[in-house]
Amino acid sequence: MTTISSGRTAEAPTVAPDLPDRTPPRLPELGPLELLRWMWRQLTSMRVALILLFLLALAAVPGSVIPQTPQNPAAVRDFVAAHPDAAPWLQRLGLFNVFGSIWFAAIYLLLFMSLIGCFVPRSWQHAAALRAQPPATPRNLSRLPGYRTFRTTAEPVSVVAAAGQALRRARFRVVAEPGTVRAEKGYLRDTGNLLFHLAVLGLLVAFAAGKMYGFRGSALVVEGDGFTNTVTQYDTLTPGRMLDPDQLSPFTLKLADFSARYLEAGPQRGQPADFAAVVDFSREPGAPMQTARIRVNHPLELGGVKIFLGAHGYAPVVTVRDADGAIVFHGAVPFIRQEPTSLASGGVIKVPDAVPEQLGFDGFFLPTAAFDPNLGPISTFPAALNPRLVLTGWRGDLGLDAGIPQSVYRLDTRKLTQLRAGSDAAAGPWRTALAPGQRAKLPGGLGSITFDGYREWVNLDIAKDPGRLPALASAALALLGLLLSLSIRRRRVWVRASADEAGRTVVELGALARTEAPGLDGEVDRLAARLRERLGVADGDGGSDRVLGTGTDLPVRDRD
């Protein structure tokens, strides 16, 4: 059938059923070698292969229900926080990384061992079958499901010649003998079957190799800034086990422009319509600079490394002056989007060089600001139509000198004091909302902050997978093999010509398929009709066929 299974031990007999072995099984003691042999036979049996297949399907289920670390680490953290009792057990069982777990690997490795154990002997069998000739004509053709007979005045020799020719034209493998023709067709079915299973094996190898020799990483790049493909420039990087991180392809690039377009009207207002980034890049140090556009679904490929657009957002550009009036900070600070639809983004600005005290700011960037009486300042549209920077301030020790790595998106407020709007203790927190170009004085003469404008940033997802083309080729071959093995039927046709008492020739046709073969009846019918036409039908026997029919199929509707 479709599958490699026909060679498996538990296969249903199709052509020549062996008599079941009815002797009671003797149970010899198994030595270690016999035990291994027994285990191997079990493993390569169809039943175990089926069970492994279903285990594989079952094992994949938790990977879609429980959050997975490689796909969504943040969701795993939330899940662990929400289920403090269950989480350690799930962790121990590898349920936060199902597809990297030992038990998942055990299932598919056993399955593939089973596949190989079946594949190898089947390949030899098929190689032998490809060289073999169609089997001898059965003594009693009328027992075959596809049986036709008629009588003709033509000589047996010409019957055999005509049948051989007709079958050869139908691309059967034909052996003509005195009085009979044996023919077989459809070898490609098993070829396709083997090809499919081999290709699936190839797919696994390509997948594993791609993971081992490739990498995935991402880096946040602000418009105007550059990126060099070295380990330190990545925000996250997952290198394959066999990848030398020092051997990353040495390209550099600069994000010249990022633009996002949004639907401006209609019920879907605010939904993204298009993203595009323009980058200037050079393939290696000293190589000429080139320019490329990266869009969603259209990554940039540099020496086997593909660069994709990931998340994007705004980086307000601010200038901070301290109490002395000196510029102690100037630059674009990426804010992380808090609300995916309106792109209201949050972030912090750290000014360690301010005098007399270090300054910190946290707040929001609102691309299209509006004031909601209940929610306060909000953003109503993702594009920067009316940008505002809403900030509160802190002074004191930012904690940057403690030597502990700190998130650039969060203030450590333990040694900070919030700036107040007035000098008395009852005054609320100092707060400002700036339009581009506006400046706000900090309370207590601590200096000022200017919102110069904004730039956009984009997360570049950068990936290399040397296994992807082999994987694609394997997948294509698997599909081809699948189509061959599902559409082609292996079938045998025999024709016998023998003289009857009246001196006429009895022509018998018999056909047999190794598997369910819809359409075999029609094929034999056509062959019989062609032979009748070629040879002529003897008087008194106008082809009263004894049609058994293969009986396996729905009757095809008569169309007239």
Q: Between residue 283 and residue 342, which ones bind another protein under the rule CB under 8 A?
A: 295-299, 306, 308
Q: Which residues are registered as beta bridge partners of 433?
A: 390
Whether 278 and 290 have beta carbons less than 8 Å apart is answered as: no
Number of amino acids touching another protein (CB under 8 A): 74
Residue number with CB closer to another protein (26 or 557): 557
Of 310 and 377, which has the nearer Cβ to another protein?
Answer: 310
DSSP sequence for 177-232: ETTEEEEEE-THHHHHHHHHHHHHHHHHHHHHHHHHH-EEEEEEEETT-EEESSGG
Name 215's bridge partners: 239, 464
By the rule CB under 8 A, 557 interacts with another protein = yes
Does the protein bind another protein through residue 3 (CB under 8 A)? Answer: yes
Q: Which of 302, 328, 462, 495 is the binder for another protein (CB under 8 A)?
A: 462
Query: Among residues 524, 550, 553, which one has the least CA distance to residue 183?
Result: 524
Of residues 299 and 360, the one with the C-beta less far from another protein: 299
Question: Shortest Cβ distance from residue 310 to another protein (Å)?
Answer: 9
Which C-beta is closer to another protein: that of 46 or that of 163? Answer: 46
The region of 26-34, 448-456, 490-498, 551-559 touching another protein under the rule CB under 8 A is 551-559
Window 351-370: residues binding another protein (CB under 8 A): none
Considering beta carbons, is residue 378 or 547 the nearer one to another protein?
A: 547
Any contact of residue 408 with another protein (CB under 8 A)? Answer: no
- Distance (Å, rounded) from C-alpha 435 to C-alpha 369? 10
Nearer to another protein among residue 56 and residue 278 (C-beta): 56
Determine which residue in the list 109, 263, 289, 402 makes contact with another protein, applying CB under 8 A.
263
Q: Which of 24, 25, 32, 267 binds another protein (CB under 8 A)?
A: 267
Q: What burial letters (b/e) apply to 397-423, b meaning 16+ CB within 10 Å?
A: bbbeeeeeeeeeeebbeeebeebbeee
Rounded Cα gap, residues 480 and 490, in angstroms: 17
Looking at 126, 431, 468, 530, which residue binds another protein (CB under 8 A)? 468
Tell me the two tokens of residue 543. Answer: 């082809």
Quick one: tokens of 497?
């010509």
SS3 category, 461: strand
Shortest reach from residue 70's CB to another protein, in Å: 8
Q: What angle do CA 64, 65, 68 make, to 5 degrees?
A: 65
Q: What does the angle CA 334 – CA 255 – CA 311 come to, to the nearest 5 degrees?
A: 50
**C-alpha 14: how far from its chain's center?**
36
216 belongs to the binding site for another protein (CB under 8 A): yes
Closest approach, Cβ 521 to another protein, in A, equals 11
CB nearer to another protein: pick between 38 and 54: 54
- According to CB under 8 A, which residues from 531 to 550 bind another protein? 547, 549
Q: Rule CB under 8 A: say whether 270 interacts with another protein.
A: no
CB of residue 455 vs another protein: minimum separation in angstroms?
A: 21
Collapsed DSSP state (helix, strand, coil) of residue 55: helix
Q: Which stretch binds another protein (CB under 8 A): 284-292, 327-335, 383-391, 462-470?
A: 462-470
What is the layout of strands, in order, in the sheet containing 252-262? 226-228, 252-262, 272-282, 290-295
Distance from first CA to last CA of the chain, Å, rounded?
34
State which of residues 35, 37, 42, 54 lies at the interface with another protein (CB under 8 A). 54
Among 36, 479, 502, 529, binds another protein (CB under 8 A): 479
C-alpha 194/C-alpha 206 separation (Å) is: 18
Closest CA to 418 of 372, 357, 464, 471: 357
- What CA–CA distance (Å, rounded) separates 381 from 366? 9
Single out the segment in contact with another protein by CB under 8 A; choices: 58-66, 240-248, 366-374, 441-449.
Answer: 58-66
Assign residue 242 a region (left: φ > 0; alpha: ψ between -120 and 50; beta: otherwise).
alpha
Judged by beta carbon, residue 187 or residue 207, the one nearer another protein is: 207
Establish if 461 lies at the interface with another protein (CB under 8 A): yes
Does residue number 518 form part of the binding site for another protein (CB under 8 A)? yes
Give the DSSP H or E segment for 358: strand 358-366
Kindly state the smallest distance separating residue 124's Cβ from another protein, in Å.
20
Tokens of 177: 């003998």
Please identify, among the stretches 41-49, 225-233, 279-287, 405-413, the one whose residues bind another protein according to the rule CB under 8 A.
Answer: 41-49
Q: Residue 266 in contact with residue 232, Cβ under 8 Å?
A: no
Query: What's the CA gap between 371 and 348, in Å, rounded?
Result: 22
Nearer residue to another protein within complex by CB, 256 or 486: 486
Regarding 235 and contact with another protein (CB under 8 A), the answer is: no
- Between strands 491-499 and 327-332, the pairing is unpaired
From 170-178, 351-359, 432-440, 477-485, span contacting another protein (CB under 8 A): 477-485
> Based on CB atoms, which residue is closest to another protein, 138 or 145?
145
132 binds another protein (CB under 8 A): no
Give the shortest CB-105-to-another protein separation in angstroms.
14
Looking only at residues 143 through 182 of this chain, which bind another protein when binding is defined by CB under 8 A?
Answer: none
The CA-atom distances, in angstroms, between 393 and each of 305, 417, 486 are: 42, 9, 70
- Closest to another protein by CB, 298 or 330: 298
Contact residue for another protein among 82, 102, 375, 554 (CB under 8 A): 554
Q: Which residue, chain included where needed, has tokens 């209201």?
A: 344
452 or 465: CB nearest another protein:
465
